[in-house]
Amino acid sequence: MIEHEKMLYGLIGYPVNHSLSPLMHNTAFNFLEVKAEYQLFSLKEEELEGFFKALKEEDSPVFGLNVTVPYKEKVLDYIDTMTPFAQKVQAVNTIVINNKREFIAYNTDGPGFLTHLTELGFNVLNKNIAIIGAGGASRAILTVLSLIKDRPKTIRLFDIDKGKVDYLISDLGSRFDVSIIQSVNSIDDLAIADSDLLINATPIGMKAGDPVLFEKELLHPDLFVYDLIYHPARTALLQMAEEVGAPTANGLGMLFYQGVLAFQHWADIQLDQEVKQLMWQALESGLKN
Ligand code: NAP
């Protein structure tokens, strides 16, 4: 086996310059005294094929990747082995590259979300869930919520593009039971007032001045409001939810746990509490700067 001075890990996407992942992963590598570094690989679409070809070279120092927009589905073309959950999602955010230079694909977005939600004390069993947004993040969350044993009662799904919702449900439904997921035509049909959990899986809220997509009257203290956005830490939606006394969370915990799970796949170890705490602190400090 080739001895590398330093093993490389990294994030591919376009653009990737604002990512907090290097902070989190390099903190863990340093603490564990592993000779490895996590880098950002900003790749244009036409560069993707050449990048993966180079990764197959015996002397490549790259042993693991994270994948972000717009490539979570496109990388499926280059994967040698899909792990069962990634196969169900049909989207990949983590790749392990083994010593034979084989690419093994995982999706840790869905489990990362569920781990955070569970840590927050929210149990989805028999709950009514409303989700806004039918993109990549929603795909991973819908998959994990459909496949767990203790499933929610209903998941109502709305997107500005109804065709996207219908396609997503039909695509997921070709691989597993999606009978708990319902496509709805409007925000009103999400039945937010009767829901236990509301998830914002759209980018609406990232920009200053972004609107909340519905009236405050629909929110209530028994509704947990989870916004996948973590920058800003308190979106207009989360502020509105706090005003009515609803429990809230932003997506930093999901980012953290998808990263922890990715690291554990690359290193084939379980990270202990001390390292996880340092990784969390690195993320938080990165957000403040
Ligand atoms: P995406 O693939 O672009 O999906 C977002 C979906 O929301 C799209 O289908 C989009 O439709 C739809 N949408 C946009 N505006 C809408 C509106 N006003 N009403 C209803 N639907 C609307 O993005 P993604 O990758 O799923 O990410 C979604 C959000 O989650 C982003 O803010 C992202 O940063 C965040 N995220 C967080 C984590 C984490 O670890 N915390 C992980 C992944 C993603 P159009 O395409 O037609 O605009």
Catalytic residue ranges: 72
What angle is formed at CA 217 by the lines to CA 214 and CA 223, rounded to 5 degrees?
A: 85
**What distance in angstroms lies between residue 152's CA and the mean position of ligand 1's atoms?**
22
Separation of CA 229 and ligand 1 centre (Å): 9
Measure 68 CA to ligand 1 centroid, in angstroms. Answer: 13
Residue ranges of domains in the chain? 7-107+256-288, 110-250
DSSP letter at 151? -
d(CA 172, CA 145): 12
In this structure, which residue's CA is closest to atom 31 in ligand 1? 203
Domains 7-107+256-288 and 110-250 share a fold: yes
Superfamily for domain range 7-107+256-288 = Leucine Dehydrogenase, chain A, domain 1 (3.40.50.10860)
C-alpha–C-alpha distance, residues 199 and 226, integer Å: 5
* Ligand 1 neighbour 206 (Cβ under 6 A): yes
Under CATH, what is the fold of the domain 110-250?
Rossmann fold (3.40.50)
* Residue pLDDT tens, the chain, 289 long: 677 889 999 999 999 988 999 999 999 999 999 999 999 999 999 999 999 999 999 999 999 999 999 999 999 999 999 999 999 999 999 999 999 999 999 999 999 999 999 999 999 999 999 999 999 999 999 999 999 999 999 999 999 999 999 999 999 999 999 999 999 999 999 999 999 999 999 999 999 999 999 999 999 999 999 999 999 999 999 999 999 999 999 999 999 999 999 999 999 999 999 999 999 999 999 988 7
229 lines ligand 1 (CB under 6 A): yes
Q: Is the CB of 142 under 6 A from ligand 1?
A: no
